[in-house]
Chains A and B, each alone.
Chain A
Amino acid sequence: MNLERLPNEEKLSLCRKYYLGGFALLPFLWLVNVVWFFKEAFVKPPFTEQTQIKTYVKRSGLGLFCWVTILTTWITIYQHFRAQWGEVGDYLSFTIPLGTP
């Protein structure tokens, strides 16, 4: 879909859908939202729906940031301590690399 061909109202409703969809534990929707609508929100000359799009993009960005922080922290902790956790670590894992503790 090419955003250029879309009327502004539909842009807003699309952005809103992606923003709301992100709350269903789908941070990638927020990522798409931020990337996709960044130009519309911050670069394009002002239009009526832009303020709302801006809000959605900002909030998506914030949500995305939270997710990235949480996931990075968890993955670091997990990779670092999995072997030490022993049994718990194994049960938390989906695949365990062969030949490493």
Chain B
Amino acid sequence: MTLKKVNAIEVKNVTKVYRSSNTETRALRNANLTIYDNEFFTLLGPSGCGKTTLLRLIAGFEDITEGSINLFDQEIVNLPPNKRPVNTVFQQYSLFPHLDVYENVAFGLRRLKKDESLTKKRTMEVLELVQMKDYATRKPNQLSGGQQQRVALARALAPEPKVLLLDEPLSALDLKLRQAMRYELKTLQRETGITFVFVTHDQEEALTMSDRIAVINEGEIQQIGEPEQIYESPSNKFVANFIGEANLLSGFCKTNGENGLCELYTGHSINLFVPSHIKQNDKVTIFIRPERIKIVKSSKDKSQLSISEFTYLGNAATIQLKSNEQIINVNLPIEDLKVFKKGDYVDIEFPKGSAQVID
């Protein structure tokens, strides 16, 4: 199936510098990315990485320092926020406290000068969509956090934006509600067909909801890809560490190429693809997820690896292996919980395709 992808948003060479009287902060450095129509796209990164800045640049709340942003092939950098067909869901919802739920949701439609019957129809429609129809006459301060969240969503969806921008909308909710809202948001995106640009620092949120993710750190885009790509083959150490748990093991290269060979300082050899710029005896860092490592029982005279920590998690356990100053984290599947204990000598195996040389 080859569907031609339509570009919803193109961010081209965008740089944003915040200047105050004596300091200059570079919030974004030469960012490039393309978001497709009808996509759930996530900007993921630690706080202060520039992800919210990028969102605010798309919304028009900040002036761009350099670069351009296109929305469906139209340059929007010079348009004020009210002229951009995108709407935002704010982190703290920012509902208008003096207006009731109905007027909050109808606000955008009224500014667009839609006629009264259409405004009413559309407002009730989106309130129905977020299951808040019964609360139309309430004021925002009479609603719970989750309900305010729904109203904020409805308010942003009502004018039928081409792109919906969501700035950490789930971070103020408690855990259970947050998990429930993830599925609702994902369903909502699929049903409405609107492009969602979602900002979060929560990697689990990003992995479960997104079609594609852009990982950002210190104002630079580190990697763009589908959740699987990002998780399975991170492009650098930052991405590997930020998303999920990662082992970054030191070793050196023996042969490079498609069927390369590296030796870890623990003495283990790994068969894996080694890029050609790495030569024999070069130091390398090998990335492998804790759950991909297999462990087998061994004895003191055969192995230097012993279990130094054993953390029981209920449905699994994490163990820490120590050898030659290297620490290796391994996730133990539930059927092996009873087999191993702290202090045991073990050996490890790396299944083919589980490890990767990383910069």
A associates with B? no
